[in-house]
Structure 1
Amino acid sequence: MGKKKSLPSLADPLQRYIAEASQYPLLSKNEEHDLAIRYFKQGDIEAAHKLVTANLRFVIKIAYEYAKYGLRLIDLVQEGNIGLMRAVKSFNPYKDTRLITYAVWWIRSYIHDYIQKNWSLVKIGTTQAQRKLFYQLQKERDELAKYNIQETPKLLADKLNVKEEEVVEMQKRMKSRDLSLDAPIGDEDKSTHIDFVADESGQVEEILSEKEEEHLMMIRMKKFEHSLKGRDLFIYQKRLISDAPMSLQELGDHFGVSKERARQLEERIKKGLKQFLLGKH
C-alpha cells in the first residue's frame, strides 16, 4: 500500500465526491466474493454497502466517458451509481465473474437512459443516424487518434455509415462541450480529476473493451431464447446453456426418442441460433 493521497480543499460537489469515493478501499476477489455471498444468501445490507462503495471510483471512470455530452458529471455519476446498486442487487456470486464485469453494463445503461432523457432533441437529433453519431462519434475520433490517423468528416461518415454532412453537424453541436480529465481540480491545487479516479486494479479498461461484445451476444441469445417454445426451449435451456447440461441420452429418454434423434434436435437449434445471431431480427 502506498502513501494515501492527501485531499485538496474542495467546494465543488463533483470534486468533493471524487475525493471521497477514492478513499474507499478496493476489494480483493476473495473479499468481494465473501461479501457478495453474504448479500446473496442473507440480504446483508452492510455487505451490499461495501460492494457498492468499493466500486464507486469505477462508476466515475465510466461517467467521464460521457463528459463530452455536456451534462453535469455529478448527475451522470449518480445515475451510474443507481446502475451499480441494481447490479449488486442481482449479482450472482457463484457465476465466477467479478462484480465490475457484471455491473459495467448496468452502469452504462442507466447513464445512457439519463442522457437520452435530458438532452434536447435539438442536441441529440431525431434520426437513427443522428442517434448513432451522438454515441459513437467521439469513440471513433479517439480510435483514429490512437493510431495517428488524420480524421476527416468523410472518413468518420464512412466508418459510421452515415452522411458526411451529418458528421459535420454533430461535430458542431458537440464542439464546445469538451471536458478534459487532465483539468485541474482547483485554482490552487495542481491535482487533476484523473488523479482521484485512478484504476488501481489495472483491469477496468480491459473489462470495458473485452466484455462489450460478450454482453451484446448475451442480449441476442436471450432474444433467441424468447423466440423458442416447447421442446426446443427445453433443449436450449437444459442442454445448451445450462451450467449442468443434460446428456443426449437423458434428453432422448425425456422426450421418448433415440439419442441420435436428440442430437439432431440439438443441432437444429444450434443452426437456428447461428442464423439468428448472424441475421437481422
Structure 2
Amino acid sequence: MDLTALDIFRTVAAEGSVTRAAERLQRAQSNVTTRVRQLEAELGVALFLREGKRMALTPEGLVLLDYAQRLLALAEEARQALHPGQPAGRLRLGSMESTAASRLPAPLARLHGQWPDIALELCTGASQVLLDKLRAHALDAVLVAWAPGQPPDAALDSVPVFTEELLLVLPAGHPPVQGPQDVQPGTLAAFEPGCTYRRMAEEWLAPRAQPLRLLELGSYHAILACVAAGTCVGVVPRSVLALAPLPQPLGQHLLARIDTLLVWRRGYRSAALDALRQALVS
C-alpha cells in the first residue's frame, strides 16, 4: 500500500472514472486500472463498484479514502517540513466563492510570482463544507467565515485575513430598512446550507411576522439577478457587489462586519502555507 497506489486510488475516487483519472495523473489508463486492481488484491476487498465506465466507491473504499487522504497529506507535510525555507509542492486551498472572486486574485498572483514551485489547488464551497473537508484531510487550509458566537474548534488554528461587510441587498426602489419587519419581499436568495452568510441572514430575518421562503442558488450573479428582478432579497458581501455591473443600483442594508479566517489543522506544518499566509496579509 505505497503512496503512489494511494494517490492513484484517491484520484480515481475523486474523478469517478479511470479515464479522467489517467488524464489527470498523466498515466496510461491500463496502468491506472492495474494499480487499482493490485491494491484491491493486496487489501482483499473491492474498493470500487464498476458501472460501465463509472467508478463508485464501495463502503470499504470509503473507509480507505479517509485513511488515504490523511496518509498523503501527512507525507506531503513531511516533505515540506524538511525544507522549511523553500515553499514548494502541493497546497490544497478551499475558499468561499465570494473570497475567491473578490479577494484572492492579487494575493495568489503574488504567491505564484514569488514561489512558482508551489502547486496550488483551489476549490470553492460553503464554509461548513470546506471545514468538513479540512478535518477529513481533503484540504490543507480553508478561507471561511466564522460566524459571531460560533465556538472555536480546539483541533484547528486560524488567523483573520480579511474583513467583509455583509449586506442584505434589496430590489431597486425598496424603502429604507431599519429592521427585519421592513423587508418587503418574502424570499431570501442565498447559497446552500452550510453557508455562514446565509445563516446570519436567516437569523437576522427570523423575527419577521411572515415565514421566510428560501431560494437556493449557486452563484452571486444568480442571486443579484433575482434581486434585480424584484422577487427576493439576497445576502452578498460588499466586495462582491462591487464586482458586479448592474443596470440600476440595488438597495443595501448592512447586516454585520465579519472576518474571513484562514484556517488549518492544529500542528500542520508547511512552508507553502506560511508563504500563503504572508501573501494574504501583505
Using the size of structure 2 for normalisation, the TM-score is: 0.21
Please identify the structure whose Cα radius of gyration is greater: 1
More helix by share: 1
Q: Which has the higher contact order (CA 8 A, sep 6+)?
A: 2
Using the size of structure 1 for normalisation, the TM-score is: 0.21
